Structure 1
Amino acid sequence: MILILSYDWYEQGTDPVIDWLIYQKADFAKITINDLVNRTTNTRLDINTGEIWINGIEISHKVNVIWFRRFEHDVPFNFSKETDDPLLKQADYELQFEIRELMQFLFQRFKKKVWMPHYLGINANKLDHIYLAKKRGVKMPETILCNNKADLLSFYEQQQNGIIMKPIRHSGYFTKGEKTFSIYTNSVKKNFIETLPEYFTATLFQQKVDSKMEIRVFYLDGSFYATAIIITKDNEETDVKLSFGTDNINWIPYELPQEYKLQLHDFFQSLHLNTCSFDVILTHNNEYILLDINPAGQYTAPGNKCNYKIEQKIANWLVEHDEKEREIHHIQQKNAEGAAFNL
């Protein structure tokens, strides 16, 4: 069986894959945090035995493959937005820790199963990736995390093409009344730095990379599906996402060099990632600079523009590994029966 851990509501990367699993008549179940915490379905975990029951059916002994798709982003409680009551706000805070403990139990309960991505690679963040890439010889932008003007000015003076600032992790949306705000990658100019106080909240700053084009890539267990975004003067934004809604952006299929793919494959394996989405910059000197790695990044937009049919490929991978694990279990069972018979 394939176990999908994902959102309770629509998730643009998960639902198209589920459509393919239904088409292939695959044996799968989907569980969300809401299922486990709010009991929106008849779901329970027997912690004494490790059993998981969904609508009266025990599935834990059948699970071979687990697809972890933004399971931790599903928030079943949101008291903080609905009230100013400090007791409810604290309850909201405490319940998030309850959910984390539940997730850790699921990781340990199924640690010997086939994961996509592997649970050991899910929690690595941007800082881990940059630090470990350096050790593997994978080029990423020069980066600092600092909380003071002096260090930031020093870093700025060292970078020929300027610097940018960005969140350490993905940032959601901020809403106030009828307005919605989002955080994007932004250029940092010297006159802005000079307006800053001597000390500020620790922030991530990076070298601004000379860019010929930006390439978005989905990686699946050794296969690379790359989409190049052609940079023109009409869409030359610091964060290319700001140009997605324009008619000036161009998306084309792209083939990364074989040597670079082998280097990235080795790097991703060291991170326990058999799948991820990542961005690469091709410089005017024809160097490839890895920007960001997201173990559960989106792939539908670039995949659809290049007709990669990534959703079908993910479904095929899940089904193939489920069938492979079933065959292994069948052989092991036969061998055990044979050994018992000989005794």
Structure 2
Amino acid sequence: MFNYLKIMEKNKLILICSDENEPSTDIVCSWLNYHNKKFLRISEKNLITIKKIIIENKNVDIIFDIDDFEYKLSELKSYWYRRSQLKFQNPNFIKILNKTEQALDEKINVFLNKEFHKTIEFFEYELNKLAVLNKFDDNYINKLKVLSIAKDLGIKISNTYIVNDFDSIDFKDSYITKAISDLVIFHENTNYYSMTQRVSFEDGENINNTLIQKEVKKKFEIRSFFFANTFYSSAIFSQENEKTSLDFRNYDFENPNRVVPYKLPIGLETKLKELCNLIDLKSGSLDLVYTTENEYLLFEINPVGQFEQVSFPCNYNLHKKIAEIL
């Protein structure tokens, strides 16, 4: 894991927030090292203490510690949120000394907690101004809202429903289900992810707030990584393998899908850029398909999705490009 690079006074510091074991970040840090760029990589295990905020007519700055080392926001060149989250030192709350004043002390502590979170909110607001790629709030982008905005922009989507039963669904057609939000669970040294699954009428007996979509007949899938106002796309021939035909993420490591570079139509890219702009997204992975009816459909956008499966097979060198713009 990369943490610190030797000091080069002429360069400002690049701040990176990522999981400790995140391969894409490791590779980007290798390229930063190669380019002699000074950076600091942190995760939720590193403690941030906000020491002072300065808001003047001609200057805004924040002085803060990370694990007892002092930094200034003005010393940062850029910020890259990849994964994990920022962890802040909690303030000193009032200690309850007797039962008589307990109710008042609790109310004061609620107020102090609000003050603390407003301070954190401002810190992240100023830090996000330096974000050239993602920011933590991108995790909260609503997939249903994305589909609605895409529809308004004339981007074709798969018919989507949120239901509590299947009584109103015509199962003469084939339907699939997937998570509305991202499901990633780590339990007993095992990672669990949500995958796309086909559903039948019988599956609707015990469901609640479930997303289903009409299954689309695909010629191939498209994973496109968007950053620096550019789409780096790949065509994934998942239909040639029964294991991956419904969802290419159900990888067949013994017989991997053929993946080749792909160029989306200019008109579609223009609409997708507008969509990213409307949801305030500078970078993300887009999942699309090219149907048997020769149409492009957008499935979803993963704001902090993986990009290795686009970069490596298509020789896009995305890790190097990211390091260059940080």
Q: What does 1:1-343 correspond to in 2, within 5 Å? A: 1-36=12-47, 44-49=49-54, 50-54=62-66, 56-72=69-85, 104-117=121-134, 121-147=138-164, 149=165, 152-154=166-168, 156-157=169-170, 161-173=173-185, 175=187, 181-193=192-204, 196-197=205-206, 200-230=207-237, 231-318=239-326
Provide TM-score, normalisation by structure 2.
0.76
What is the Cα deviation at residue 276 of structure 1?
A: 0.7
Contact 1:4 1:69 in 2 (8 A): no
Q: Secondary structure at the match of 2:280?
A: coil
Q: Structure 1 pair 146/313, CA: closer, same or farther in 2 (3 Å)?
A: same
Contact 2:28 2:320 in 1 (8 A): yes
Contact 2:63 2:70 in 1 (8 A): no
Q: Secondary structure at the match of 2:209?
A: strand
| Unmatched segments (≥5 aa) in structure 1 | 37-42, 75-96, 319-343
Q: Structure 1 pair 139/99, CA: closer, same or farther in 2 (3 Å)?
A: farther
Measure the CA separation in 1 of the matches of 2:136 and 2:186: 29
Measure the CA separation in 1 of the matches of 2:270 and 2:146: 17
Q: Structure 1 pair 98/139, CA: closer, same or farther in 2 (3 Å)?
A: farther
Q: Secondary structure at the match of 2:264?
A: coil
Measure the CA separation in 2 of the matches of 1:98 and 1:14: 33
Point out 4+ residue stretches in structure 1 off by more than 6 angstroms.
97-102
| Structure with the higher helix share, 1 or 2 | 1
Q: Which moved more, 1:27-36 or 1:251-260?
A: 27-36
What is the Cα deviation at residue 202 of structure 1?
A: 1.2
Structure 1 residue identity aligned to 2:27: P
Q: Secondary structure at the match of 1:133?
A: helix
Q: Secondary structure at the match of 1:227?
A: strand
| Unmatched segments (≥5 aa) in structure 2 | 1-11, 55-61, 88-113
Q: Secondary structure at the match of 1:241?
A: coil
Contact 2:234 2:262 in 1 (8 A): yes
What is the Cα deviation at residue 219 of structure 1?
A: 0.8
Provide TM-score, normalisation by structure 1.
0.73
Contact 2:287 2:301 in 1 (8 A): yes
What is the Cα deviation at residue 9 of structure 1?
A: 1.2
Structure 2 residue identity aligned to 1:62: E
Contact 1:276 1:294 in 2 (8 A): yes
Deviations 1:156-195 (A, max 9, x none): 31x764211111122123647x9775431100112333xx
Count of aligned pairs between the two proteins: 283
Measure the CA separation in 2 of the matches of 1:317 and 1:179: 34
Q: Structure 1 pair 291/276, CA: closer, same or farther in 2 (3 Å)?
A: same
Contact 1:161 1:207 in 2 (8 A): yes
Measure the CA separation in 2 of the matches of 1:72 and 1:98: 20
Q: Secondary structure at the match of 1:240?
A: coil
What is the Cα deviation at residue 30 of structure 1?
A: 2.1
Q: Structure 1 pair 160/212, CA: closer, same or farther in 2 (3 Å)?
A: farther
Deviations 1:201-243 (A, max 9, x none): 2111112112110111111122111111112154453222223
Q: Secondary structure at the match of 2:73?
A: coil
Q: Secondary structure at the match of 1:64?
A: strand
Structure 1 residue identity aligned to 2:251: S
